Amino acid sequence: MLNSNLPKIDDETRVAVQVLADSRQRRKSFYRPGLACFLIVSVVFVCTLATFVTAEDSFGKDDSVRNITLEQLAAGDVQLVDLTHGLNDKSPFWPGADYQPFELKTIATIEKNGVFSKTFAMPEHFGTHIDAPCHFEQGQPGLEEIKPTDLLAPGVLLDVSMAAEADSDYRLSLADVINWEQANGPIPMRAIVLLKTGWSRFWDSNVRYRNQDLQGKMHFPGFSAEAARWLVKERQVRGIGIDTLSIDHGPSKDFIVHHVVNGAGRYGLENVAHLDKLPVRNFFLIVAPIKITTGTGGPTRLFAVLPRNK
Ligand SMILES: [Zn+2]
């Protein structure tokens, strides 16, 4: 009896109401995971942003070198430090079987030929030079494939010369890098990190620079794998450089630092000169390697641009 008093719902309306109820239910179950996903993505985005903000982008905000203009550079109104060793037949070089000293030969003189000209020969990895990413890792860019924009970057200088004085095999530790940041602020993102070990004082002696023991094992300082990994991952360094024969320390057999750096598509700079003339930060590097087609590395002119002392 009671039911018969209620307004009658025809079949069509019942179906329509059911469809509406179903779609609301679907929307609810869609929104819940959707909202959760949105929140997770937002949190990840904010955290990533925070990491990048902690390490200043490209330049440190207090680095006055960022204000140098091309006019000042062209007018010489800057300090320019040449970080390149001169090349000659006394230059130290890697003790590999097919490595050879620098050779220079005169092929024409003004007296005889009306023109002065020479020819030279050297291994790619000789003197102040770059290690292209393909040097230790397959499928990575060769020398002529390194982007020119990766060769111009702010630089920072870390110094382990005291530790290397006590231990020739010393490796820059991750703790050294963190301590440096605590004292000098974050390393700018995509900078070039140079390591001063004091080894360039031995440049005039191939024997002292290599520092081989009786078994032929070399002893000189370098980067540790942990520090290199952190610099590549957390600071996205374009490259790392050092004032010794190798970014790996002398006794290394596995060349792990080369693998870390080259494996990430980044380059190394070796036998860098005059690092004693650089401040800890606030300089800009111009890396100008030779362009050898299919090259794995090559001699490189390296300049640091600094604001002029007022
Ligand atoms: Zn090299």
Residue with more model confidence, 173 or 4: 173
Mean pLDDT to the nearest integer, 31-42: 60
Q: What angle do CA 295, 296, 302 make, to 5 degrees?
A: 90
In this predicted model, what pLDDT tens digit does every residue of 144-169 receive, in sequence order?
999 999 999 999 999 999 999 999 99
Residues near ion ligand 1 (CB < 5 Å) are 125, 131, 270, 297
Residue 259 phi, psi dihedral angles, 5° rounding: -65, -40
- What is the spatial distance between Cα 27 and Cα 57, in angstroms, rounded to a whole number? 42
- Which of 45-49, 98-102, 138-142, 285-289 is the least confident region? 45-49
Of the chain, the percentage scoring pLDDT greater than 90 comes to: 78
In this predicted model, what pLDDT tens digit does every residue of 11-24 receive, in sequence order?
555 555 565 555 55
Mean pLDDT to the nearest integer, 84-102: 95
Q: How far is the CA of 134 from the centre of ligand 1 (A)?
A: 11
Q: How far is the CA of 46 from the centre of ligand 1 (A)?
A: 39
Mean pLDDT to the nearest integer, 107-121: 98
Per-residue pLDDT band at 9 (split at 50, 70, 90): low
Q: How far is the CA of 236 from the centre of ligand 1 (A)?
A: 21
How high is the mean pLDDT of the chain? 89
The answer to whether residue 53 scores a pLDDT higher than 50 is no
| The CATH homologous superfamily of the domain defined by 64-92+124-306 | Putative cyclase (3.50.30.50)
Q: How far is the CA of 128 from the centre of ligand 1 (A)?
A: 9
Q: Which two tokens stand for residue 213?
A: 């023991």
- Which of 25-34, 183-192, 294-303 is the least confident region? 25-34
Q: How far is the CA of 152 from the centre of ligand 1 (A)?
A: 19
- What is the spatial distance between Cα 246 and Cα 124, in angstroms, rounded to a whole number? 14
The answer to whether residue 186 scores a pLDDT higher than 90 is yes
Q: Are the beta carbons of 103 and 121 closer than 8 angstroms?
A: yes
- What is the model's pLDDT at position 286? 98
Per-residue pLDDT band at 273 (split at 50, 70, 90): very high
